[in-house]
Structure formats: C-alpha cells, structure tokens
Amino acid sequence: MDWLYFLELFLSGLTKGSIYALIALGYTMVYGIIQLINFAHGEVYMIGAFTGLIVASILTLLGLNTLSILLLASMAAIIYSAAYGFTIEKIAYKPLRQAPRLSPLISAIGMSIFLQNYVMIAQTSDFMPFPSLIPDFEFMEPYAHIIGSPELVIILTTMVVMIFLTVLIKFTRIGKAMRATAQDKGMAMLVGVNIDRVISMTFIIGTALAAVGGILTACHVGQINFYIGFLAGLKAFTAAVLGGIGSIPGAVLGGLVLGLTESFGTGYISSDYEDVFAFTLLILILIFRPAGILGRSTTQKV
Amino acid sequence: MREIIKSFTVSIWFMFLTFPIMVIKVNTIEKTIEWRWERLIFVGIGSFFLSFLWRYLITRKESGIKKAEAGEEIKQPLSQRFFEDRRLFFPALGGVIILTVTFPLFFSSYQTNIMTNALMYVMLGLGLNIVVGLAGLLDLGYVAFYAVGAYCYALLNYHFGIGFWAVLPIAAAMGALFGILLGFPVLRLRGDYLAIVTLGFGEMIRLILENWNKFSFGPSGIANIPRPTFFGYQFSFDHSFIYIYYLMISLTILTIFVVNRLQNSRIGRAWIALREDEIACQAMGIDIRKTKLTAFALGATWAGMVGVVFAAKTTFVNPASFTFMESAIILSLIVLGGMGSIIGVILGAFIFILLPEYLRAIEEYRMLVFGAAMVVMMVFRPQGLISNIRRTYEFRSSKKQ
C-alpha cells in the first residue's frame, strides 16, 4: 500500500469534507428549528461565491494586496448571503409555517430554481474563473506535495467556525433561544422567546456559513457558475442526513465521512463515479440507520 | 402613509440585495467592469409596487382563513361549478375533442410537434400525480423512469432491432420495475428524506448513463432510433409527426382513463388515505408497504412509456435530456395545475409547455418565472389552479319530522 497516496487522498477528503460540513451546518440548523429542508441553501452558497468574485475583481482592479482582498470579499459574501437567507425565509417560508409539510418544500424548490436562473440571467451561464485568493505560505513549502496552502486554510477555517458555532449555541442567549425553539416552539414562545427573530437568526447564521464555504471552494476549485449550488447543496444535505439531521456535531461528522468516502472511492475504485458514491452512501445510511450516525431516532407521536 | 414607508423600505432593501448580482458585471478575462445602474431603478420601482400587492394578497388570504373559521359559507369554486353543470361541461368537452382530433389538419407539423410535446408532459404529469398528488410521496427523481423508458427503446433497438410497439409494454414494465426498485429502500422514509433520496436516485441514474460508456455510450448518446411504424408501414418524415401526435393522443386518453379509474378504486382510496395520515391508514388495515410500492410502480409505468415515445420522436437519446430540471418542471406543472386533480394536471402541462413556446421572447425567463410561480402558488394558492374536488358524503337522517 502506498502510504503517501493514502495520505494525499485522506487530506483531499478532509478538505472536501470540511466544505460539505460548512454547508451542512446551515441545513441542519434550519432543519432543527423548523423541520424544513432549505432547498435554496445551495443557491445561497452560489450567490456567496458570485458576490465574492465580483467584489474581488473590483478590488483587484483597485490594486489591493491579496490578503485584504480575500478578507473584504469574504465579508461581502457573508453579508450578502446572510441578507439573501433572511429575505428567502421572509418570502418563501414564513407565510407557510402553518401549511402542510409538502408546501414549504415545494416553495423551497421554486426558490432554488428562481435564484439559479436569476444569477444566470443577471450574470452569465458560463464558467467564470475565480482568482486564487489564498496565498501560498512559505512554511508550507516542504509539504506542498502532500497538502497545499488552500487546503490547509479550508480545514483550519472550518475548525475555527465549528468552535465558534458550538460556543454560540451552548453559551449565548440567542443560542439558548435557538435550542428552546428547536425543542418546542409553543413553549419557547410562552417563556418569552421571539420565535420570528430566532428563526431569522438561524437563517442568517446558516447562510453566512454557506458563504464561507462558497468563497473557500471557489478559491480552491478556481471557477464558478450559476449551477454549482445544486450539487453542493445536495451533497451537503447528504452530509447532514448522514450525521443525523438537526445535530450540529453530526453535520460535521457527516461532512467529513462523505468527503473521505468520495475521496477514497475516486482514488481506489473509479474517478467517474464520484457523485454516485455520495448518493449510494446516502441511500445505505437511510436504509440501515435512518436517524443518521449521531441522530436520535424519534418515535412518532400520534 | 405607513404603507408607503413600508414599501419604500422594502424597495431599498431589494435594491441593496440585488446590487452586486444585477448591477455589476465583471469580465475576469479582459479585466473590465460593466455597471448597469438602470437595472437598480427597475428593481427599486418593481419591488416598491410588488410589496403593496404582496401585503394586499396576504391580508386577503388571512381574512379568507378567518372567514372559513367563523363558519361562513365559502363560495363554490368556479371550476367546480363548471364541471358540475352538464350544459356547459359536455359542449366544452366536445369542442376540445374536435379540436384535438383535427389539430394536425389545420396547423403545420411544427405546431403539431409542440402539441405532442405538451401531451407528453400531460402524461408524465399524470404519472407523477399518482405518486405525489394521490399518495403524497414527494418524488423528485421522476425523470429517472423517463430515462429508463427512453434508453430501453434505444438499447433494445440498437442491439436486437426490436420495434416501437414491442418495446412500449417492455418499457412500461421496466418503468414499473424501477419504480419498485426505488420504492423498496425508501419505504420507511417520509416527506423530506424521501424527496432527497428520490432526487439522489434520479441523479444516479443519469450519472450512470453518462459514465458507463460500454452500456449506454456515455454522453454522446444513441442516435438513429427508428420512428414508430403503423402495422409495418413506415411514414414519411412529415407524416410521422402527425402519426406520433395521434399516438400520443390515444396514449394520453388511455392514461386519463386508467388514472381516473384508479383514483376511485380501492387502491386509489388507499393512496389518498396514505397521503392524509399514514398511521390512521395503517390502523384501518391498509398494507402500507404494498400501497406505496404500487404507487411508485404505477406512477413510473407512464414515464417509461413516454420515454419510448420521446426516443422515437427525437430519434436520439442522451443523458443530458434527463436532468433534475426536467423532474422539477414535471413537479411544478402538477403543483401549478392542482395536485391530485386530473384536469388540473392537464391544464398545468399545457400552460407550462405551450406558453413559453408561443412567447419566444420570454424563453430565457421561463425557469425564472416558473420558480417564482411555484413560490407564489404555494404561498397564496397551495391547492393549485384547479383544486381537487373532494368527495363529501353527507349524513342525512332518514326520519323526517
């Protein structure tokens, strides 16, 4: 067995998995609170990447250095993605809170189609090259054949974001309100939690994470188009289900498992079926452990 | 005044929101930036007025709910009155029949072709309607069965030279088989999970067709598929379109007939019960496993058949025709027309397919409008254009005073 090859696959799986985990967190948070698959989540990720590209291009013309471009573009992407997430919730999901389960789901699919075409018409349907904003660090040079700087940045950013999110959910006031809303909306309302605000906050945080994922992937892959959100969203959702939807550590674990599966699958079996591995894994998990790896199985009340 | 301020805020918000995507266009190769300020004004004005409309519709909807709760009598919907009034319904039906039968005589083969297209979507919609509308199982990978049908004809013809008519039942059976194949693993899943797994299934079928070169010839697809024959007689190019049109008409009528009969059968009732409440349905002694599987199988059968017609009509299949967008279109035409209602699905399919064909100018905006329409429909009229008429039985006391 070639250990170097194994390590390479492992690290590339970890990178991919980190991105999936970042997007999956948004799904899982929203699902935990209002039991809705936010189909438009992948689209917000795409919009984040596009906003980042636009801002980065303008700043490049102004002649700033790479690191400040990266930071400013990420800020813009996060702000805009969060704004889109907030607006999407107000338009497509809030009026449907009392409706049967199928209605918000279809509305979400509609939103996703709308946003895809909106970006396609307003911008372009071609692939756009994305500047590599993440600089190559000097201290990374000896290891460059195993892991590049962008990969390192992606993995580290994801770890930082996870820690930040855990602290937010566990120890802050809004985190407490979120957990309360997820457990029982009516009861949370009775003890004075502003449900509307909590749901909005959840969308804002979730979509901001998606924007981070969008920028990082775009830097890593080097090109974007209006359709990237669909597959990314689907895979991230797979990751969320894999780890047990509604559970935050589950989303991270699911993302990493999915990334590694894909990476080893393409490395050792066949590179043509990268996406097929993800879906096969999803179906297998749902058959044998529908609650996911870390999820608790809930008994249905009648 | 408050309303105006509200709308003004909304329009400012949307101007902010759409600013980078709508106004700025960068060209990363030539390193130029194009500013399209005029669009910002359109967005501002548009959202200003739309927000008025939005709030008006929301208040109207809420007052409607209040009225219903207060027990006030709700007017019978127009569509229902239309179908119940025989003096109106039968002449209309006759008119539609005459129009469909004579359509190719008056219009060019191009127009006929478009009508055939619309009929294909009617059939796909009716098939998916069984799964989504009646049984309430959200299937986002329906296009997979369509692909199965099309490839079934293409491959069987390529390898064994089997003709259209022999493949039609085989493809229907294959569709049903794949429906059951999908149905088994997802029996335990509900709602959202089901939607995602079916979506994954649909994408998987497409990816396999794209990558398994030895089996399906990969992305380049299979060409030179023969058009259908009429008892061994091969029509000329122009006439074959008309022939396929009539073929589609008869297949559609068959579908409508079967779906209509199914709807009111024991199994159809079981589907509707399943949609309304799975547990109550189980408690009434319905075998959920069997009911779900039949829904998947019977829904997929039609897609398999339409797939064969599609392959025969275009004489070419490749995986690019079977993307998720196709599933989304079929789903949205059902939603638009009215879930569970046959007339609604037919109307939805015609609106969806014919409008963009005749309004070529909006072709580019087609999916944009559909996406928005899906959201707006769900928010304001979740039952669709023509809602399914629920049979109600009244209890009448036999003793009269």
- Is residue B232 predicted with pLDDT exceeding 70? no
What backbone phi and psi angles, to 5 degrees, belong to B329? -65, -45
Q: Examine residue A148 and state whether it is found in any structural domain, yes or no.
A: yes
Contact B368 A87 (CB under 8 A): no
Q: What is the pLDDT of residue B393?
A: 59
Domain count across chain A: 1
> B401 falls in which pLDDT band (50, 70, 90)?
very low
What backbone phi and psi angles, to 5 degrees, belong to B230? -115, 100
Residue A50 is nearest to which of B21, B58, B191, comparing CB atoms?
B21
- Is residue A43 predicted with pLDDT exceeding 80? yes
Contact B136 A102 (CB under 8 A): yes
- Is residue B372 predicted with pLDDT exceeding 60? yes
Got the DSSP string for B163-204? -HHHHHHHHHHHHHHHHHHHHTTTTT--HHHHHHHHHHHHHH
In total, chain A counts a number of residues equal to: 302
Top-confidence residue, B78 or A170: A170
Q: What is the pLDDT of residue B85?
A: 67
Q: What is the pLDDT of residue B177?
A: 93
ipTM of the complex: 0.82
Top-confidence residue, B82 or A125: A125
Terminal Cα-to-Cα distance of chain B (whole angstroms)? 59
Residue B200 is nearest to which of A106, A111, A283, comparing CB atoms?
A283
Q: Examine residue A42 and state whether it is found in any structural domain, yes or no.
A: yes
Q: How many CB atoms lie within 10 A of CB B104?
A: 21
Round the average pLDDT of chain B to a whole number and report it: 81
- Is residue B303 predicted with pLDDT exceeding 70? yes
Check: CB of residue B322 under 8 Å from CB of residue B99. Answer: no
Domain ranges of chain B: 2-69, 107-380
B331 touches chain A (CB under 8 A): yes
Interface size between A and B, measured as CB pairs under 8 A: 174
Distance of CA B239 to the CA centre of its chain: 28
Check: CB of residue B315 under 8 Å from CB of residue B324. Answer: no
> B124 falls in which pLDDT band (50, 70, 90)?
very high
- Compute the nearest-CA separation of A175 from chain B (Å): 25
Top-confidence residue, A164 or B100: A164
Q: What is the pLDDT of residue A203?
A: 92
- Is residue A286 predicted with pLDDT exceeding 70? yes
A269 touches chain B (CB under 8 A): no
With beta carbons under 8 A apart, name residues in chain B contacting A278: 200
> A125 falls in which pLDDT band (50, 70, 90)?
confident
Q: What is the pLDDT of residue B83?
A: 64
- A203-229 tens-digit pLDDT: 999 999 999 988 888 888 888 888 888
At B223 the three-state DSSP class reads: coil
- Is residue B74 predicted with pLDDT exceeding 70? no
- B330-358 tens-digit pLDDT: 888 888 887 778 888 888 888 878 777 77
With beta carbons under 8 A apart, name residues in chain B contacting A302: 279
Q: Examine residue A267 and state whether it is found in any structural domain, yes or no.
A: no
- Compute the nearest-CA separation of B102 from chain A (Å): 37
Q: What percent of chain A has pLDDT over 90?
A: 13
Contact A103 B200 (CB under 8 A): no
Top-confidence residue, B192 or A77: A77
Tell me whether residue A245 is exposed, middle or buried, using C-beta atoms within 10 angstroms of its C-beta: 0 to 12, 13 to 18, 19 or more: buried
With beta carbons under 8 A apart, name residues in chain B contacting A290: 188-189, 193
Check: CB of residue A97 under 8 Å from CB of residue A36. Answer: no
Give the separation between CA B53 and CA B49, rounded to whole angstroms. Answer: 7
Rounded average pLDDT over B258-266: 88
- Is residue A32 predicted with pLDDT exceeding 70? yes
Q: What is the pLDDT of residue A249?
A: 84
With beta carbons under 8 A apart, name residues in chain B contacting A35: 192
- Is residue B245 predicted with pLDDT exceeding 70? yes
Contact B375 A92 (CB under 8 A): yes
- Compute the nearest-CA separation of A111 from chain B (Å): 6
With beta carbons under 8 A apart, name residues in chain B contacting A102: 136, 138, 191
Q: Examine residue A7 and state whether it is found in any structural domain, yes or no.
A: no
Residue B33 is nearest to which of A50, A61, A287, comparing CB atoms?
A61
Residues of the domain holding A39? 18-238
With beta carbons under 8 A apart, name residues in chain B contacting A300: 279
- A61-109 tens-digit pLDDT: 887 788 888 889 899 999 999 999 999 998 888 888 877 777 888 888 8
Round the average pLDDT of chain A to a whole number and report it: 84
- Select from 1.10.10, 3.30.70, 3.40.1350, 1.10.3470 the CATH code of B107-380: 1.10.3470
Q: Examine residue A291 and state whether it is found in any structural domain, yes or no.
A: no
At B394 the three-state DSSP class reads: coil
Strand A128-129 to B32-35 pairing:
unpaired
Rounded average pLDDT over B92-96: 78
Residue B200 is nearest to which of A31, A282, A290, comparing CB atoms?
A282
Q: Examine residue A266 and state whether it is found in any structural domain, yes or no.
A: no
Contact B28 A53 (CB under 8 A): yes
Rounded average pLDDT over B300-329: 88
B152 touches chain A (CB under 8 A): no
A61 touches chain B (CB under 8 A): yes
Give the separation between CA B185 and CA B175, rounded to whole angstroms. Answer: 17
What is the maximum alpha-carbon separation in chain A? 63
A295 touches chain B (CB under 8 A): no
Residues 215-234 of A with CB under 8 A from B: 230, 234
Rounded average pLDDT over B120-139: 88
Among B184, B379, B383, most A C-beta atoms within 10 A, so best to mutate, is B379
Tell me whether residue A124 is exposed, middle or buried, using C-beta atoms within 10 angstroms of its C-beta: 0 to 12, 13 to 18, 19 or more: middle
Rounded average pLDDT over A32-46: 86
B373 touches chain A (CB under 8 A): yes
- Is residue B71 predicted with pLDDT exceeding 50? yes
Q: What is the pLDDT of residue B391?
A: 57
Terminal Cα-to-Cα distance of chain A (whole angstroms)? 54
Contact A123 B21 (CB under 8 A): yes
Q: What is the pLDDT of residue B84?
A: 65
Contact B26 A122 (CB under 8 A): no
Identify the closest residue of chain A to B197 by CA–CA distance.
Answer: A283
Q: What is the pLDDT of residue A132?
A: 78
Q: What is the pLDDT of residue B49?
A: 85
* Exposure class string for B5-15: b at 16+ Cβ within 10 A, else e: eebeebbebbb
Among B27, B35, B196, most A C-beta atoms within 10 A, so best to mutate, is B196
Contact B22 A122 (CB under 8 A): yes
Contact A283 B201 (CB under 8 A): yes
Identify the closest residue of chain B to A131 by CA–CA distance.
Answer: B28
A27 touches chain B (CB under 8 A): no
B53 touches chain A (CB under 8 A): no
Give the separation between CA A36 and CA A54, rounded to whole angstroms. Answer: 31
Give the separation between CA B130 and CA A189, rounded to whole angstroms. Answer: 39
B187 touches chain A (CB under 8 A): no
